[in-house]
Amino acid sequence: MNSMLDMVIIPEGSFLMGADPEVEINAEYEEQPQREVWLSTYAIQRTPVTVGQWQEFLRDTDYNWSYDNETLSVSFRDFYSSLPNLAAEFSPGEMYPIVFVSWFDACQFGCGGLLLI
């Protein structure tokens, strides 16, 4: 299953996270303060996980996934920006990104269903 992942190594380093309220006057409270964050080297998939990859994972692992178990918190801005994609979410093809996957689901996918969460 992990053979279908196209991972990219991101080297360790620092970056500025958050908003500078003097520059970004519409910054949300939760985005402040701007601070330097250090991350160790990590790997991330080059592209989003697709519906096809998720279906293969479910077939290969018998993972019990139910997207309706999650309570979603969506802001108006997020909802409004997703309107062009609603058709894809309701009738996804194999190449569309998978949606309604929790952090726990993503961990299972990344470890091939081997985690005991």
Rounded Cα distance between 67 and 59, Å, is: 16
25 and 58, same domain (yes or no): no
Domain that holds residue 85: 48-117
> What is the structure's pLDDT at 87?
46
Helix (H) or strand (E) holding 16: strand 13-17
The pair phi, psi for residue 90, each rounded to 5°, is: -90, -20
Residue-wise pLDDT for 98-115, tens only, equals 888 888 888 888 877 555
Residue-wise pLDDT for 34-62, tens only, equals 999 999 999 888 889 888 888 888 888 88
31 and 60, same domain (yes or no): no
Residue-wise pLDDT for 9-28, tens only, equals 999 999 999 999 889 989 89
52 and 84, same domain (yes or no): yes
Name the average pLDDT for the chain. 78
Pairing state between β 42-45 and 35-39: unpaired
60 and 75, same domain (yes or no): yes
Which amino acid, residue 27?
A
114 to 40, 41, 52, 84: CA distances (angstroms): 24, 23, 20, 36
